[in-house]
Amino acid sequence: MSKNFAVMRIAKIKSKKQLRGALSHNFRLMPDTEGVDPEKTKYNKHVPNLDTYDKCMSQYDERLDKHKPRKGAVYAHELVITVSPEKAAEMSRKELIAYFNDATKWADKMNGGGKNRVSVALHFDEQTPHAHLIYIPMKNGKLASRDMLGSIQEVIDPAAKRKSYRTLKTSADRLSEFQTDFADKVGLKHGMVRGVKRHGTGESVNHQTIKEYREKLPKDIERMTNDIKSLKEDKEWTLSELSGAKQELLKIQSEVNGLGGVKNVLESDIERLKELQQTVKTMTLNALREQIASIEQEQEYSRPRMGR
């Protein structure tokens, strides 16, 4: 099964305080942020005109202008764009930035245009690279989250007597449609697909919250660390076995070379025997007896003398 998933999630920010907290996270203004590697924070990226906390808040206030949000209003939308860890591991920083840029263009359209951007933060200092996109849902001078993400959609029906009618769509319906659209228009371009669609199938969808993810992260890291340790041990054992096999091969090669020397000696002895055979054939009987006697005499002298 493919694990090259394009991931897009949407959250609603329902107060100015919550917005400040989101921006503080995006700009790493909170001390000891869990899951963040401070050594890698310098690699994070923000768009030039929204590259400080103050600029982002100024942009928000400028777009909000004199509008006073009603009670229960949605102050901002935050989109988290990322990829499955397996896909992230295959992508270079340049490829990830291109993916996040395309995701931002797509998000602009669903949030009333680039003029409604409040923050675009690319984070490379956590386990999986991701982007935080924050928008103020302004339309016609007022906050209008429902018109952008909302639950009611106007549909034109030429066959109906009336010009149009309104049909109810739940937030889950709309989110599912956004996720499909995002995967089709952004994910596919970068070699990714939509995650398994469960909404409308009767299956429950249980997304982890950021808190749950961070609580689970240390255990996942410990498990992966143990897996890496085990792989390293397997590697060391394999290298040791290969080293032993190499030594055994060198030993066999040495023995083979030694056998080559024995072979040369044997071939020399065979040649000498052949020469002796030829000599014997040409010797007379008396000469042969003299030769035998001479050999026996040499053997007698060569025997160790035993004392009495």
Cβ atoms of 103 and 186 within 8 Å: the answer is yes
Between 101 and 306, the higher pLDDT residue: 101
Per-residue confidence band for 303, with pLDDT thresholds at 50, 70 and 90: low
Q: Please state whether the predicted TM-score (pTM) of the whole model is above 0.75.
A: no
Q: In the predicted model, is pLDDT for residue 275 greater than 90?
A: no
Cα angle: 87, vertex 90, 92; to 5 degrees: 115
Both structure tokens of 173: 């319906």
Backbone angles phi, psi at 12, to 5 degrees: -100, 130
31-79 pLDDT, tens digit each? 767 788 999 999 999 999 999 999 999 999 999 998 999 988 999 999 9
Cβ atoms of 65 and 158 within 8 Å: the answer is no
| List of residues 6+ apart from 106 with CB closer than 8 A | 181, 182, 185, 186
Per-residue pLDDT averaged across 246-261, rounded?
Answer: 79
3 state SS of 112:
coil
Q: In the predicted model, is pLDDT for residue 101 greater than 90?
A: yes
Q: Domain coordinates of the chain in residue numbers?
A: 6-138+150-207
In order of 27, 131, 254, 263, the CA distances from 276 in angstroms are 100, 94, 33, 20
3 state SS of 127:
coil
Check: CATH 3.30.930.30 for 6-138+150-207? Answer: yes
DSSP 161: S
Q: Which of 106-115, 147-156, 191-200 has the lowest mean pLDDT?
A: 147-156
Task: Return d(Cα 36, Cα 177) in angstroms, integer.
Answer: 32
Cβ-defined contacts of 28-33 (< 8 Å, 24+): 28/125, 29/53
pLDDT at 2: 56
Task: Quote the percentage of the chain above a pLDDT of 70.
Answer: 76
171-182 helix and 93-110 helix, angle to the nearest 10 degrees: 140
pLDDT at 17: 94
Q: Best-predicted range by mean pLDDT among 66-80, 147-161, 271-285? A: 66-80
Between 180 and 292, the higher pLDDT residue: 180
Per-residue pLDDT averaged across 292-304, rounded?
Answer: 67
Q: In the predicted model, is pLDDT for residue 189 greater than 70?
A: yes
Q: Which of 109, 133, 97, 96 is nearest to 181 (CA)?
A: 109
Task: Return d(Cα 93, Cα 88) in angstroms, integer.
Answer: 9
Q: In the predicted model, is pLDDT for residue 116 greater than 80?
A: yes
pLDDT at 167: 47
Torsion of Cα atoms, 34 then 40 then 42 then 48, to 10°: -80
Task: Return d(Cα 61, Cα 48) in angstroms, integer.
Answer: 18
Both structure tokens of 98: 């291109």
Between 87 and 218, the higher pLDDT residue: 87
Q: In the predicted model, is pLDDT for residue 169 greater than 70?
A: no
Backbone torsion region of residue 215, taken as left when φ is above 0, otherwise alpha when ψ lies between -120 and 50, otherwise beta: alpha
